[in-house]
Chain A
Amino acid sequence: MKVRIALTVNDEVHEALVPVHKTLLEVLREDLALTGTKHGCELGECGTCTVLVDGQPVLSCLALPLETEGRRITTIEGLADGARLHPLQQAFAELGAAQCGYCTPGILLTAAALLSERPSPTRQEVKEALAGNLCRCTGYTKILDAVELAALRMERART
């Protein structure tokens, strides 16, 4: 069964005719050409496919587009403000927090949600927020450092 859906992704409305059983992950990548969203298991077991729905990190591999209609979806392609990188993106690049980069989109989005809710998290809070995103390359160390650096810079920019 195909349905016509209208998804608000990165503040743009996308219409598509897709089978109901196609997940948000599949529709983003295959129908909307937003391949920045990655996947590592498609079963909810790795966090690689994380996107934001109304600002909250969710797993696009377990979400149906129908269930996200009318809600705000943010993918990695929408994290920067136009050409201005999000401070997290800047910090990840500067500190080498992306090695192979495959987990990076999901981690950046999860971290962005954390910082908008809790602008100055402790290291333990960052660890807990990112506990649903596996990374096999970095040992998380540079990732945690980069989130802390971005938080600090955002804090400074506010004051």
Chain B
Amino acid sequence: MIRLPSFTYLAPRTLAEAATAMAEHGRDAMLVAGGTDLYPNMKRRQFEPKVVVGLRGIRELRGVRVESGGWTIGAGTTLSEVSTHPAIARDFPALATAAGLVSSPQLRNMGTIGGNVCVDTRCNYYNQSYEWRKAIGFCMKKDGDICLVAPGSSRCWAVSSSDTAPVLWALGARLRVVGAGGERIVPIAALYRDDGIEYLAKRPDEIVADVLLPPADGWRSAYLKLRRRGSFDFPVLGVAVAARMNGDVVREARIVLGAVASLPRPAERAAAELVGQRITRDLVTRVADLAAGPSKPLDNTDFTHPYRKRVTRVFVARALAAIGGLGDGGPASEEVA
């Protein structure tokens, strides 16, 4: 069996306690929520924290609430809870879809939405055992100093592989982040950095406490996920599209691509093209072509990267068609909401 390295486990009862513990242990400590990302990584020795701070015992992290300004989803809410919550399915269908497409049913019972937005970036030179990484020569994300995908590169190109992050971004979500020194509320876009190693723009002691969603009025959303199998597999391309409609005219739109860069990648020009327009086939084609531009996958996930790029166009078109009510037989119905 492949086993965990040893560590000390802390189980704080409040966010404040957790943040203090994190601040105290600094780089030696890591947070764990569901553990479905962290523990496999620790077993492969991608992380070897001396202290693990468990968030599971913190009540205030659980649950979905409606408040005046919109919806609040506690970071400790499991993906199963998110994907089956009736109000989320009604108001933010793309989020319910994305959460419901993460890995497997068992994993969704364990994994949390907070863990999902903070999930480690991935690369098939990196998500390997210690022995494997040693055999190929360690890369800079862990234990080494070069990049094996882009050997000349001075940075790491590991891939943002969260299903919910691009959707939350497209829906205009904000995060409440609590640290030892206080809390702040930031748009989710501000959580991410374009770097495969330091992919989160937050201090280690900062804990994502809540995901805040604005009211859903007028917004329609869709999420499409590319992967080899209908279960288990991480996205190797995610397409999240959200549009606020006024009648059949688009008022506001966001298109965010997942798993094609070290962070969720907005396709801003493409989204701008939608505004003020009725969604027609021609428009869909034009926007899809534009949206594929920012999709720049590298050869470090499943499927070939030119293929992932090509499917970006198709998926954007299909997601837009779904939102615009241009029924086409393309996407599997389970993938579109």
A interface residues with partner B (beta carbon < 8 Å):
1, 3, 19-23, 25-26, 39, 42-45, 47, 50, 56-59, 62-64, 66-67, 110, 128-129, 131-133
The distance in angstroms between the C-alpha atoms of A132 and B102, with both chains bound, is 11
Contact B56 A67 (CB under 8 A): yes
Could you list some 20 contacts between A and B, CB below 8 A?
A: A1-B6, A3-B9, A20-B6, A20-B7, A21-B5, A22-B3, A25-B1, A39-B1, A42-B2, A42-B43, A44-B107, A58-B106, A59-B106, A62-B110, A64-B54, A66-B9, A128-B105, A132-B106, A132-B107, A132-B232
Contact A20 B9 (CB under 8 A): yes
Which residues of the other chain, A, contact B231 by a CB distance below 8 angstroms? 131-132
Is B285 located at the chain interface by the 8 A CB criterion?
Answer: no
- In the complex, how many angstroms separate the beta carbon of A28 from the nearest chain B beta carbon? 12
The distance in angstroms between the C-alpha atoms of A58 and B80, with both chains bound, is 11
Which residues of the other chain, A, contact B35 by a CB distance below 8 angstroms? 62-64, 67
Which residues of the other chain, A, contact B54 by a CB distance below 8 angstroms? 64, 66-67
Which residues of the other chain, A, contact B39 by a CB distance below 8 angstroms? 23, 44, 62
- In the complex, how many angstroms separate the beta carbon of A30 from the nearest chain B beta carbon? 9
Contact A21 B7 (CB under 8 A): yes
Which residues of the other chain, B, contact A62 by a CB distance below 8 angstroms? 34-36, 39-40, 110
Task: Assess A26 versus B9: contact at CB under 8 Å? Given A58-B106, A59-B106.
Answer: no
Which residues of the other chain, A, contact B9 by a CB distance below 8 angstroms? 1, 3, 20-21, 64, 66
Task: Assess A58 versus B230: contact at CB under 8 Å? Given A20-B8, A47-B104.
Answer: no
Which residues of the other chain, A, contact B6 by a CB distance below 8 angstroms? 1, 19-21
Beyond A21-B6, A39-B1, A131-B232: 7 further Cβ-contacts under 8 Å?
A: A19-B6, A43-B2, A43-B40, A59-B36, A62-B36, A64-B54, A133-B104
The distance in angstroms between the C-alpha atoms of A39 and B11, with both chains bound, is 27
- Choose among B7, B9, B104 the residue with the greatest number of A CB atoms under 10 Å from its CB: B104
**Partner pick for B109 among A1, A25, A58, A64, CB 8 A cutoff:** A58
* Chain B, Cβ-Cβ closest to A106: B106
- In the complex, how many angstroms separate the beta carbon of A131 from the nearest chain B beta carbon? 4
Is B20 located at the chain interface by the 8 A CB criterion?
Answer: no
Contact B106 A110 (CB under 8 A): yes
